[in-house]
Amino acid sequence: MIEFRHVSFAYETGYPVLQDVSFTIQEHESVGLIGANGAGKSTVMKLILGLLFPSEGEVYVHGIRVSKATLADVRKMCGFVLQNSDSQMFMPTVKEDLLFGPLNYGMSRKEAEEKADAVLEQLQITALKERYNHRISGGEKRMAAIASVLTMEPSVILMDEPTSALDPYNRRQIIQVIRSLSVTKVLTSHDLDMILDTCQRVILIGNGTVQADGPASAILRDQKLLEANRLELPLSLQKPVL
């Protein structure tokens, strides 16, 4: 579904962010992309979406090479949930946000409204449908942002820090939703407990390269590996201090 082939990227000449990065994500995998601040996680996301292009190497989504010529096709397949939902929910109401994408992709209003209703029911947030975006909580807005992406029927969902700044209740709600989605998922987060709860696999980025790639249950229990990359064990795996 997603393939990086020897990808390197630098924002400035001589300051590489990624160096010869290669990996493949299969259809329906749930993958956590982890690393310290500045490791290159967000750059990987932007390369998948075609917001950036490699200095060297190639990125493929569903067999299509990401390039300026293929951006429309790639972005039809990819939904991106931003860390800041205020940057994503830009229409007055939740309903209008959910209809915006499908209508702009040529879906009839009747079809778009049926799709929006189905997604709201799936996420159990039908009560938000007519609410104004500036009058709902952060957790509700994050759920609505996920709903607005699902109405586009993407085959890949990218999420940037989906549980950041949420209270425990809304964090649990988001985790349940992520686990229920039957699409390819790529999540970046410093919330390693959430990654452990939602991802089968982890790709650890450090110093611009892939430091580890394997089962989440193994990598997130490797204290030496995590600490070498300026990360800590998930809280649920740390021994209590007596």
Residue 154: name the closest of 117, 115, 110 by CA: 115
Q: Rounded distance, CA 203 to CA 18, Å?
A: 14
- The string over 208-241, giving b where at least 16 C-beta atoms fall within 10 Å of a residue's C-beta and e elsewhere, is bbbbbeeebeebbebeebbeebebebbeeeeeee
Cβ–Cβ under 8 Å, residues 192 and 233 = yes
Quick: pLDDT tens for 102-136: 998 888 999 999 999 999 998 889 999 999 998 99
In the chain, where the domains are located: 2-234
DSSP 3-state of 190: coil
DSSP 226: H
Quick: pLDDT tens for 206-239: 999 999 999 999 999 999 999 999 999 998 888 7
Cite the beta strand spans of the chain per DSSP E: 2-12, 15-25, 30-34, 56-61, 64-65, 78-81, 156-160, 184-188, 201-206, 209-215
131 CB contacts (<8 Å, ≥6 apart)? Answer: 93, 94, 140
Q: Rounded distance, CA 214 to CA 203, Å?
A: 7
DSSP 3-state of 31: strand
Select 2-234's CATH number: 3.20.20.140, 3.40.50.300, 2.40.30.10, 3.40.50.2300: 3.40.50.300
Residue 233 phi, psi (nearest 5): -55, 145
Quick: pLDDT tens for 9-62: 998 777 889 999 999 999 999 999 999 998 999 899 999 999 999 999 999 999
Average pLDDT, the chain: 92
Residue 48: name the closest of 31, 36, 35, 38 by CA: 31
Residue 129 phi, psi (nearest 5): -50, -50
Is the confidence at residue 183, as pLDDT, over 90?
Answer: yes
Is the confidence at residue 241, as pLDDT, over 70?
Answer: no
